[in-house]
Each structure stands twice: as C-alpha cells, then as structure tokens.
Structure 1
Amino acid sequence: MRETAIVILNYNGEHYLRKFLPSVIQYSPGCEIVVADNCSTDESVTYLKENHPEVTVIQLSCNHGYSAGYNEALAQVTAEYYVLLNSDVEVTPNWVTPVIELLKSQDNIVAAQPKILMYDKKTHFEYAGAGGGYIDCLGYPFCRGRLFLDVEEDKGQYDDDINIFWATGACLFIKAKVFHEVGGFDPDFFAHMEEIDLCWRINNAGYEIAYTGKSKVYHVGGGTLHKSNPRKTYLNFRNGLTLIYKNYSRFDLWTKLPIRLALDWIACIKFMLFDSFNDGVAVAKAHFHFIKHLRLNFKKRRAVLKLKTQRSIPTMFRGSVVFEYYIKRKDTFKKLDF
C-alpha cells in the first residue's frame, strides 16, 4: 500500500490529461497515480493505457459527477492519504510533501490544501480555493485571496500555515480514514460545494482543516462546466441551500435560512433584470428543487447532527461577507473583521 494516492477524476478530459498528467507523474515521486474515468466518450482511457501504463485506471460505469464519482473511485483505492486532484491542474516540484507534512504534524488535522493560483494568470489567486476557504454566518463561502469577483495578486500575503473552514476540491488532501468515517461526499450534490459540505461535517466531528502556502498548484478552472453556464448557477444555488440546511444548528436554521432565501431571490431578480435571464431561471429552479427534496435532506440533516461534537467552529466567519463586500466595500480578506 502506498502512503499517498493521487486520484484524478476525469470526464472527457483527454486534452487536460495530455497537458498536465506528465507533470503530476514527474513531481509526485512515491505516490500512486490513479485516474478514475467517469465514463468518458473521448479517447481518455485509450490515451492512458497506451501512454501511461504506470497509472492505475479505474473505469466507472457512468458519469456519476464529482461527488458519487469520487465516492465510487475511492472505495477502490487503498492509501493512508488521498489527494483529490482536478484534471485541469498543473502541479509544481515538491507540491505533495509540505501538505502531507502538515497532515502529519497534528492528529486532529485531517484535510488540507495548497495555494491555488490561476493557470492563465499565474501571479493571481484562483477562484476555487485560493488561499484557503471560509464560510460566513449565512453560509456563503469565500476564500483568502478571493472575495466574490475580486481576486488578489499573490504577493506572499498567504504563505503561512493556518486552519481554514474548507479545502478546495480542486486539490484536496485528506486522511482516507476520516473521508470514509464522515460518509464521503453527498452524491446528490453531483458537483459544486460538495467539498464544503464534506469539510463542514469534518468540522462538526471535531477535526481540523488546514492550508499551507509552502505548496502551490495552478488551476485552469471551469474545465468541465464554465462559470457562465446557467447549469453552474443552478448547482451553486441548489447545493448552497442544501449545504446550510444539512449543517446549520437548529437556532441558525430558523434565524438565518429565511435571510439566505431572501437574498437568493434578490439575486434571482437581479439576474433577470440586469444580467442573464437564464441565470435567474436557474436560481428559481434551484429553490423549487430544494423545497421538493426537503424530506430527503431532513434525513441527511439528522445524520449530520449525530456527528456534531462542538457547538461552534472557530474558522467560521461570524459576520456577513455579503454585507462586508457589497455595503462596506471590503474587497480583500484582510479587510474583514475576522
């Protein structure tokens, strides 16, 4: 058994495998490299078998999406540490060791991420993960290095080791035992925010999640579903509601969920009047889906609450990042009164 298994979930990403997989193999000595193929219709599997016999290929029966795809793949991977790596990520020399050392430094640290920078603009942080993920009192996720559409230039301001609320699914290091202990990803998320849901459960179970700036990778982003696609809007809003419904305390559920619902409808109206009508429709569909599946999510909520060992999570931002950003005009993480 290898100590560390790097698992890349692939769907029609042959071009990314050709571009980025060689550097993953080169810069990850001692790690098992696994590509789990989500029933691609391109030549991904053929390319892997003909060019990279050193890579373990797991062929899934259908496109399960990110959540269920990784759940099924990781059930077949034996390692102490999993590294969940997007196919559109360029790694750098010595990218694995600092993060694994961070996980080994304390028993209670069970998941972590490196610094995530843009592939196309390598001087700046990337949207998905940046310098470590946090969440505010209304369940809105944000990152050091990225608040909404404002992305910071990397000037070494986040080169530290620090506890965070969530680690990005684009490059997620996690202890295999804990991944399975907390139930893995929620398969109904399909894609988007599933790693935040997983990390919230990890936090609720009393574990810690960390970030290190000693390792960095470059992420293309939007490789499977572009940010302008209404389907992405739908998944973000749908999963955002499911996320907070499952994980909020009873008090937060009754006091903060109505505010979140109202803000979502404001966003819906804004989309329809000023931006993209289809995005507005996507928000409405997300809310109808959430209401339709309340009973199912209630069962999940009960299971989540059984994991809960602490009443508060130190890495949760007690204010509203929406208020801080749009009203108080605070456009960087360091301007927040954390």
Structure 2
Amino acid sequence: MAVERFLGTTAQRAFIATIAFQAIVVLVMVGIAFGRVEAATDTSKRPEYKTLPCYLALFGLAEVFELLMAFDALKLRNIIQLAGILAFHLALVVFAALQVHEARSALVFKTGNPCTDLIGCDIPGSIWRRVEPFLITAPCVIAASWFVLIFYVRALFGEFGWAVFHVIGANPVTKTMYQWYQIMICLLKFDFFCFAGVTMQLLIVVLQQNTAEFGLTIVAIPIVLSLLIGCGIALKREIKWLMTASLILMLAAESYFIYKLVRFYEPSSAPQYATTRATLTTFTIVAFLLLFATFAVGLRCFADFDKGLAQAKIQDVPEKVIYSSAPSSPSAAERQSSYKGGAVLAPRISIE
C-alpha cells in the first residue's frame, strides 16, 4: 500500500479546493457589504461602524488561517488536525451568524414610529437591508462547504492512517503518545488564532490608544506569541525546562482572559463593548477553554518525554512507498519485520 505524495490524491486536492473556494466567496460577500456601508455612510462619525471592517479583517484572518492549516495538515498527514479543521469550520458558521446580529446592531440604531431614515433604520431600501443578504450568505456558504469537507476527510483518514504507521510503527503505546503529541500541536495553532481574534477586535473596535487597557493588550501580544512558539519548540525537541516555563505561563494567560471577560460586563466598561460583546465573549471563552485544554494535554505530553518518541516527532512522513519485485542484496530478503512477528519479508520495501 502506498503513502501518496503531498497533494497527490483527488481527496487532498478537493479538500484544499473546497476551502479556497468558500474563502473567496465569503470574503467577496463581506467585502461587498463593507463597501456598501463605506459608500453610504461616514464611518468616522459612529464608533459602531467599526464593526464591519473588524468583521472583514477577522474573516480574512480566519480564512487564511484555515487554508494554511489545511496545507499543513496534508503535508504532515495529521489526522488530528483534520478533525480540528472541521471543528474550526463549524465555529466559523457560528461566528458568521453572530456577525449578522452585531452588524445589525451597528447599522440599525434609530427608533421611532415610523422610522424613515435610510441610514439607521430597518426599512426597505435602508443600508442595513442592502447589506443583509450578503452577510447572511456567508454562514450559508460556510455551512454548505462543511458538509463537503466531511466527505473528503473520510477518505483522508484512511490515507493518513497508513502514513502514521510508517512513522511510528504498530506499537500501541507509541501510537497513543504520538496522538497526544499531534493533539497538542493542533491546540497550539488554534490557540494562536483565538488570541489573535480577540486582540484584533479589541484594538480595532473597542480600545482607545491613550488608555491603560490598550497598553496592556499590546504588551500581552508578544508574551502570548512567545508562549505558544516556545511551547511548540519544547514539545518537539523535548526540552523540559522550556516546557515547564510554557505551562506556567499558560496559567498566567488564563487569568488575562478572565480579566477581559469581567471587563466586557463590568458597568464602568460595558458600554464600549456594546456592539461587539457577543463575538468578543464567544472568542474569549473559546480561547480560555482551548488554553486550559492545551495546559492539560501539555502535562500529558510532558509525561511522555524521554520515552522514545523524540525521533518520530522530527521524522518526515515518506512521500511514497513502493514494492520492488526483487531484493537488492541477499541480506535484504532475510530482514525481519518488527510488526509481523518476525516473518521474513520477501519483497524489499523502498521509499522514494
């Protein structure tokens, strides 16, 4: 059985094409909505109008991130990351649906009976009615593409299972340790996106540059990024002191997310988060839970250090495995298989 090369199968190419296509459609829809609001209003007059450019920036980040994660998962034959991408894609559906509500809150702010202004009212021909179809299209397209991705991921699971077998063999203990390692690496990547999403919303929509909270958010960026990168290096190279420091910093980062949640609903600061509270709360809670899961899985991976998995972490998956009809030397035919109970391998296995 062969381990196909990167993007060498229909399932791999279709998986990437589906993500790329839906990314283009969604960004075009959101871009049109943003353009119509920009053309019809002076976005500098109301802070709430910043919701749409932030929405566009977040979707741009999310779609680029998902595409990079897809290429990375296919290159590394990471089954766990494929499952993570499906979960992330489903979260995008929820995020897109939330943004429809928050965009309406930003664009419909006038009351009265009757409300006749095309800017600020929810009436036929208003700016909200003109952008609403494009905003609703986004979660619909993402949801439809999710079902397509599930179809191709099923095929990729079987393909990648064989690839992992060639890296770590059939030892069930080693296989379990390697799965926890893959989960940890995947969690670190999603931690980065959630933190970037929270930070982007805070800096674009909410915080004023002359406030202490703005400075605290800026300072937190390099600290959290260093934490995630350092943890990834420590995990792959099995550096114990660096892994210990990373786990301690994770607990400190958890307190930062708790602080932000309190700020969203504290009476003195709640008004400035009014138009983005739903999305910010969702992002922050998800980031908190992901980081907590990362800490727990990190402890599990730390316990597996120095147990023979280090080589598998840095070993590349072979691009393709083929069978030749004759051995290259007399001793090759006599080699024993470590996972077939010592049976002689008649054909020689060669890796291209």
TM over 0.5: no
TM-score, length-scaled by structure 2: 0.25
Relative to its length, the structure with more helix (as a share) is 2
Structure with higher RCO (Cα < 8 A, 6+ apart)? 2
TM-score, length-scaled by structure 1: 0.25
Between Structure 1 and Structure 2, whose CA radius of gyration is higher?
2
Relative to its length, the structure with more strand (as a share) is 1
